């Protein structure tokens, strides 16, 4: 069992009052709660803070925790020889030999002392008597834009709590294969029914909730189900019109660029975006950028000069209108 220094996590002294512990928790909850925080690793940090508070706010659990002794954070340790007898009597951990604690999670141990299992919705406790629904699990899943477009199957490796016949939770690795439907977008939430923790005494298992993160793509940008790609054109292509090969997530297509296409214009390829569930797909927009060559030969320079002398085009005509007003 790995040690976690709950006092250090909350930033309080070992003799801190209940009030100090509450204040410290509130401050850290505001900083790290995943629904309101933008800190890196907020979810992991909040999980630690939450576990620390759940233990230290309860006088019984706090006393039991204090008697585990003080160790370095992350250090493997076992409770003192008579700890179970004093603090775990009547709980699933009663009469457990010291080496039986090796694959137990500290938070599960302390939660189990009051006969409460960590239940659904991220730890809502319920009384041990009667069926207890299995806990829900949450996982962040990073996929590429190509995987989002086509749909994909992913393997998830989770560390889950499995209860033995005594009701003691043991952390075991668990691999789940999940099919992600096509058309998911960054930030979307998915639910995998029944793939959470096992229920106890005949209750249903929990669910697995996935938080989708779509990795940035070198070419395409997304907005909902729509895709955007920059389309560089040479000046003569924009003026005269042309046909270009445009990459899409389903393979390259030929795109007709009309004559007199302007910079910033969005050329729409209907239905070439991400799928919408039960509906038509989003679109792909090619955003025109007119780019000029940085190196020109003498003939090109001469042609540009001839063009500038023979054209009446004034791209800054509106400056004069603005100045006159």
Partner 1 sequence: MNIDTAEALSLDENSEVSFSQLLVLSGLSDNDLRELVDHGALTPINPNASSWMFTSYCVVVARKASRLSRDFELDAHAVSVLLGFVEKIEALESELHALRAGALGHGLAGTSDTVSR
The residues pairing with 233 across neighbouring beta strands, listed in sequence order, are 290
Residue 287 CB, shortest distance to partner 1, in Å, is: 5
Binding window for partner 1 (CB under 8 A); candidates: 73-81, 107-115, 219-227, 296-304: 219-227
Identify the residue among 63, 73, 240, 253 touching partner 1 (CB under 8 A).
253
* Length reported for the chain: 325
User: Does residue 280 interact with partner 1 by CB under 8 A?
Assistant: no
Choose, by CB under 8 A, the member of 268, 301, 305, 320 that binds partner 1: 268
Relative to beta strand 208-214, strand 189-192 is antiparallel
Question: What is the rounded distance in angstroms from the CA atom of residue 60 to the CA atom of residue 6?
Answer: 15
| Structure tokens that stand for 263 in this block | 């910079």
Tell me the per-residue interface mask from 114 to 153 with partner 1, x by CB under 8 A, - otherwise: -----xxxxxx----------------------------x
Quick one: tokens of 174? 């668990």
Nearer to partner 1, 29 or 100 (CB): 29
Q: Which is nearer to partner 1, 106 or 180 (CB)?
A: 180
Asked whether 122 and 138 are in contact (CB, 8 A), the reply is: yes
The window from 1-9, 68-76, 86-94, 226-234 that contacts partner 1 (CB under 8 A) reads 226-234
Find the shortest distance in angstroms from Cβ 138 to partner 1: 9
In this structure, are strands 116-118 and 125-127 parallel, antiparallel, or unpaired? antiparallel
CA distances from 245 to 87, 229, 252, 257, 268 (A): 72, 13, 6, 11, 14
The one among 177, 292, 308, 310 contacting partner 1 by CB under 8 A: 177
Binding mask 29-68 for partner 1 (x = CB under 8 A): x---x-xx---------x---x------------------
Cβ proximity to partner 1: between 74 and 278 the closer is: 278
Min dist CB 120 to partner 1, Å, is 5
Q: Where are the alpha helices (DSSP H) in the chain?
A: 6-10, 18-32, 42-56, 59-66, 83-87, 106-112, 120-123, 145-150, 235-240, 298-310, 317-324
Residue 241: how many other CB atoms lie within 10 Å? 14
Terminus-to-terminus CA distance in the chain, angstroms? 78
Segment 3 to 32, residues that bind partner 1, using CB under 8 A: 26, 29
Among 203, 249, 255, 290, binds partner 1 (CB under 8 A): 255
Applying CB under 8 A, among 170, 269, 290, 304 the residue interacting with partner 1 is 269
> HSE-up of 60 (CA within 13 Å, CB side)?
11
**Applying CB under 8 A, which of residues 14, 179, 280, 305 lies at the interface with partner 1?**
179
Output the six-digit token pair for 171: 């952390």
Q: What share of the chain is helix, strand, coil (3-state, %, to 5)?
A: 30, 25, 45
How many residues bind partner 1 (CB under 8 A)? The answer is 65
Binding site for partner 1 (CB under 8 A): 26, 29, 33, 35-36, 46, 50, 119-124, 153, 175-181, 184, 188-195, 207-210, 221-224, 226, 228, 230, 246, 253-258, 262-270, 272, 276-279, 285, 287-288
């Amino acid at each position: 069992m790995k040690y976690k220094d709950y006092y250090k996590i909350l930033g309080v002294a070992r003799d801190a009052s209940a009030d100090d512990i509450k204040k410290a928790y509130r401050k850290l909850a505001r900083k790290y709660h995943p629904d309101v925080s933008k800190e890196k690793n907020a979810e992991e940090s909040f999980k630690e803070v939450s576990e620390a508070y759940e233990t230290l706010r309860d006088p019984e659990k706090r006393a039991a925790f204090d008697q585990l002794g003080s160790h370095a954070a992350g250090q493997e340790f076992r409770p003192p020889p008579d700890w179970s007898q004093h603090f775990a009597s009547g709980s699933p951990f009663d009469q457990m030999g010291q080496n039986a604690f090796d694959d137990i999670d500290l938070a599960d141990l302390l939660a189990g002392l009051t006969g409460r299992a960590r239940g659904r919705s991220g730890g809502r406790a319920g009384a041990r008597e009667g069926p207890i629904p299995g806990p829900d699990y949450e996982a962040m899943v990073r996929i590429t834009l190509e995987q989002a477009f086509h749909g994909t199957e992913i393997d998830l490796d989770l560390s889950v709590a499995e209860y033995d016949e005594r009701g003691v939770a043991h952390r075991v690795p668990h691999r789940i294969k999940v099919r992600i439907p096509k058309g998911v977008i960054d930030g979307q939430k998915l639910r995998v029914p029944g793939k959470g923790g096992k229920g106890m005494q005949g209750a249903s298992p929990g669910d697995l909730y996935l938080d989708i993160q779509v990795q940035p793509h070198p070419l395409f940008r997304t907005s909902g189900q729509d895709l955007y790609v920059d389309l560089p054109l040479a000046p003569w292509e924009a003026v005269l019109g042309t046909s270009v090969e445009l990459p899409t997530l389903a393979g390259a297509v030929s795109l007709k660029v009309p004559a007199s296409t302007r910079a910033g214009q969005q050329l729409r390829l209907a239905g070439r975006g991400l799928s919408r569930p039960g509906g038509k797909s989003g679109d792909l927009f090619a955003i025109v950028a007119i780019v000029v060559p940085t190196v020109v030969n003498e003939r090109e320079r001469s042609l540009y000069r001839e063009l500038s002398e023979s054209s009446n085009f004034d791209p800054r005509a509106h400056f004069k209108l603005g100045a006159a007003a």
